[in-house]
Structure 1
Amino acid sequence: MRYNKNVFLGGLLALSFATSPLYAAVSASEAARLGKDLTPFGSVKAGNEAGTIPAWDGGLTEAPEGYEGTGQHHINPFPEDDVLFTITASNMDQFSDHLSDGVRAMLEIYPTTFKVPVYQSRRTHAVPEWVEENIRKNAVNATIVGQSEGLDGAFGGYPFPILHGNNEQKAWQVMWNHLTRWRGISGTRRTSEVAVQANGDYNLVTSQQEVFFNFYNPEGGQEDLDNVIFYYLSFTQSPPRLAGGAILVHETLNQIISPRNGWGYNAGQRRVRRAPNLGYDSPIAAADNLRTADDTDIFNGAMDRYNWSYKGMKEIYIPYNNYRLSEKGTPYSEILGMSHLNPDLTRWELHRVHIVEADLKEGERHIYAKRRFYVDADSWNTLLVDQYDGRGELWRVTFGMAKNYYELPGVWTTLDVYHDLQARRYHVLGLDTEEPNTRVFTDDVPNKRYFSPASLRRRSVR
């Protein structure tokens, strides 16, 4: 069984935190609720009173018959499930209490094409036992440093399975659970992203990606963490105008000590350079400016430009168990509609979500003046985001189309979708149904030199 040898970042962090407030963790008696009335990751184990959300019964931990292992496109474990009902522009008022503002806006803007097919709710999220053990340790040890610049005392599991403190502190905790959520140890994939124009046209940008989630390094310890949550490499393979470029990211745990480190490889110049603007609202070229740097992964990076508040938990229809969107051989042209994904391939379920709002601080700059996050209470994945412009108008709406990766096990998104309501365009990240394989997960712990700038250049010029 894997375990962490040391959940602290060591003397260097202790010195840096000496003058920063540390928000206390929960008591041992409160943490003892994990695995009892709470799931091992902190959500309410019981179902709701209406019976529309079931009790958590351990999640989905076994693959369906016919699944041969990681890398194979996933087989739908619920092929017999039928649509219970469909929410459309004409009946959405009946379900308004369970819809995000962004989903309502999509129904209003695309009344004849966008719809929300609702299925039986299945609470499929699960984590390995060694992650459960670390979550229990984190519950009594994890603390937020400063104004949410970093963490102390957390490793190998969600830092804050039980929210506590004031609204701001709870909001930070929710977002840190999202930033450090369980997605395996190491993985590779070849996927495409597209920016779909108002007339439905699009061009694929295909890349090979590799990631090592250092926060879940099974060897653990101060000498292994080095203030890095994960290491990420991406090599662009097409179209020709972008092919050969690459990017390397070291995502840091504590932004006080070191902001995110990023490097880019320019194939034309055959040079690796630091990427100083790889954060906040820097535009992403491959997304045709429909996604900012901190939109990536639904949300990532520093939180210091916003004031954060926790708005409580609510039952909301969110994209869940979306296996049809990732079935091998489904043409991208069938997945991608003119203004949004093909709704007939999507699956929505009623789940409990934590709602967090972020308001831009006075004097700070970002293209989004306000952001509202809907975070799945089981998996801590942010699956819906409403983003507002400086006039207070809803501008962009993000969907994380989630499913359970039963080989991990755990819930993560299969597609990330970014809608620009004003431009009537959208961007999709993660298409791989036309590829021979999907994500490949391993328990490998690579040498850190593999994710160095020098390695980036060597691998890019091969």
Structure 2
Amino acid sequence: MSGRPSITRREALALALGTIATTAATTTAATVAGAQEAVTAPTEAPPVPKLGEELTPFGAIRAGNRTRAIPAWTGGLTRAPRGYVPGRPSPNPYIEDGRWFTVGPNDVERYKIRLSAGLQALLAKHPDSFEVPVFPCRRSAAAPQAVYDASLENAGRAALGNNGLVLTGARVGVPFPIPANGVQAMWNHLLRWRGTSLTRTGQTILPSATGALDSRLYREDVAFPYAAGEESGRPLLYRRTTLMPKEQEGSVLLAQATLNPIQSGFRAWFRQGERGRVVPAPDFLYDTPDPATDGIATADMLDMFSGPLDRFDFTLVSRREMYVPYNAYRLNTAGLAPSEFMWYGHPNPQFLRYELHRVWIVDARLKPNFQHALPDRTYYLDEDSWQIVMAEHYNGKGELLRYAEAHNVAHWQVPAFLPAVEFVHDLTTDRYVARGIDNLQRPPIFDKPLKPEEFTPESLVRRGRRG
């Protein structure tokens, strides 16, 4: 079933503005235009919550909510789940949780305040097959104590310059645990803790109307110099190598992020096949279609959002309690074949898990004199990890065209919290793409030493000659 989403961008933002939580930790200086009319200012300012006390070191509200549907944060998942066997994939730590309730197409009005515009669109688009299974909230996101300590220190030393494009003073942890604006919140996502390095092999899959699954296999090697405490100015080094299909085997995309695009910008290179010529790929940015997804996702949708922050004005709208994808252990079950949960149009909801969590909402609007195929966005950032868990992408008319979700799991042994699978839905068709599926692969490897020279164009030349 095709059609327009059941909620417009204007309506979605009105919901966010009209439901700003009353907790002092949720109040920020930034609002979108007209917010002053939508929200009445308190007559007396509440006391400012203290980072590391009322707030966690990442700036999340430590306490549970009024109804206790969201529990207090107690440090996240940092111990092996029951039944864990060394050398084997980690079992589901919440396997005994029963489904709390289900939100179907007929329940949207009742739960509208908790549903993103993207989830409402999926429910409207697939009324006979899609639903939102809601489970108990488990605040499993965790990080090492050294990262928490660095985040507390960053709160007093991190700074932004050049209209938010240049970050200085931050090290290792979240740069802005108490964000004052949307740019700071987005920097928190870009620099969130994921270990010092990550190597994983995963499938990118596009289901077709015939039931066939177009599958591609990639290996991703990612180094996080910022998280390792290095002052290279390159917070992320990324390499994506094609393993399948055979005709594309050995093709490599290489990217280098930056903390200071004024001094040293984002860089990317591409090599076609094992022995292809290495060419600069400066256009793998912004709304360039990502060929790995057949153009369903754009380059800046990688990792839910990546790349420079220069083309958008980011506004911090509110912190809100919403149903979001979380603790996707069933979806990430070892040995579970993609054919068992990848339906045409959307994944099988029996394998999905949504929970009630607090999320920061960031509104992104294209700056004047810039171009982008999807000029308006809404991002939902998990308060416990700063991971973007949902993202909506609109055209210039305010029509919702793409909706993305990150279904995350907590890797207790690091500890770190990151996506097991990312879905990007094209709401103008029945097409969607899933990437990062590693159920049939070895678990991700964290903190493996990766040298900076492994992420240079020269390394691709050497690899090609040896291949």
Residues 221-255 of structure 1: CA deviation (Å, up to 9, x unaligned): xxx43210111112101112211211211111111
Letter in 2 for 1:260: F
Residues 383-411 of structure 1: CA deviation (Å, up to 9, x unaligned): 01111112211111001101111111122
Q: CA deviation at 1:347?
A: 0.6
- Measure, in 1, the Cα distance between the counterparts of 2:94 and 2:454: 39
- Measure, in 2, the Cα distance between the counterparts of 1:402 and 1:141: 30
Letter in 1 for 2:213: Y
- Measure, in 1, the Cα distance between the counterparts of 2:162 and 2:151: 22
Letter in 1 for 2:123: L
Q: CA deviation at 1:270?
A: 2.5
TM-score (norm. length: structure 1): 0.88
Q: Which residue number corresponds to residue 54 of structure 2?
A: 37
Residues 278-307 of structure 1: CA deviation (Å, up to 9, x unaligned): 110111111000010000000011121122
Quick one: structure 1 residues 357 and 236, their matched pair in 2 at CA, closer, same or farther if it must change by over 3 Å?
A: same
Contact 1:31 1:140 in 2 (8 A): no
Q: Which residue number corresponds to residue 158 of structure 1?
A: 174
Q: Which residue number corresponds to residue 382 of structure 2?
A: 376
Q: Does 1:263 align with 2:269?
A: yes
Q: CA deviation at 1:450?
A: 2.2
Q: Which residue number corresponds to residue 20 of structure 2?
A: none
Residues 79-126 of structure 1: CA deviation (Å, up to 9, x unaligned): 110001000001121111100111001000001111110000011111
What percentage of residue pairs aligned between the two structures are identical? Answer: 37
1:72-91 mapped onto 2 (5 Å cutoff)? 72-91=88-107
Q: Does 1:184 align with 2:200?
A: no
Q: How many residues align?
A: 420
Letter in 1 for 2:135: Y
- Measure, in 1, the Cα distance between the counterparts of 2:340 and 2:351: 9
Q: Which residue number corresponds to residue 440 of structure 1?
A: 445
Residues 143-191 of structure 1: CA deviation (Å, up to 9, x unaligned): 1121121200011000000123xxxxx1011100000000011121111
2:241 match: secondary structure: strand
TM-score (norm. length: structure 2): 0.87
Residues 344-399 of structure 1: CA deviation (Å, up to 9, x unaligned): 01110000000011111222110112100011111100001111112211111001
Contact 2:322 2:358 in 1 (8 A): yes
1:297-312 mapped onto 2 (5 Å cutoff)? 297-312=303-318
Of 352, 356, 363, which aligns to 1:346?
A: 352
Aligned-residue RMSD, C-alpha:
1.7
Q: CA deviation at 1:198?
A: 4.3
Q: Any stretches of 5+ residues in structure 2 without a counterpart?
A: 1-46
Quick one: structure 1 residues 38 and 451, their matched pair in 2 at CA, closer, same or farther if it must change by over 3 Å?
A: same
Q: Does 1:283 align with 2:300?
A: no
1:57-456 mapped onto 2 (5 Å cutoff)? 57-68=74-85, 72-164=88-180, 170-217=181-228, 220=229, 224-267=230-273, 270-435=276-441, 437-442=442-447, 444-456=448-460
- Measure, in 2, the Cα distance between the counterparts of 1:446 and 1:402: 24
Letter in 1 for 2:260: N
Letter in 1 for 2:438: D
- Measure, in 2, the Cα distance between the counterparts of 1:291 and 1:96: 26
- Measure, in 1, the Cα distance between the counterparts of 2:449 and 2:170: 19
Quick one: structure 1 residues 73 and 453, their matched pair in 2 at CA, closer, same or farther if it must change by over 3 Å?
A: same
Q: CA deviation at 1:457?
A: 2.3
Q: CA deviation at 1:31?
A: 10
Q: Any stretches of 5+ residues in structure 1 without a counterpart?
A: 1-29, 165-169
Q: Which residue number corresponds to residue 8 of structure 1?
A: none
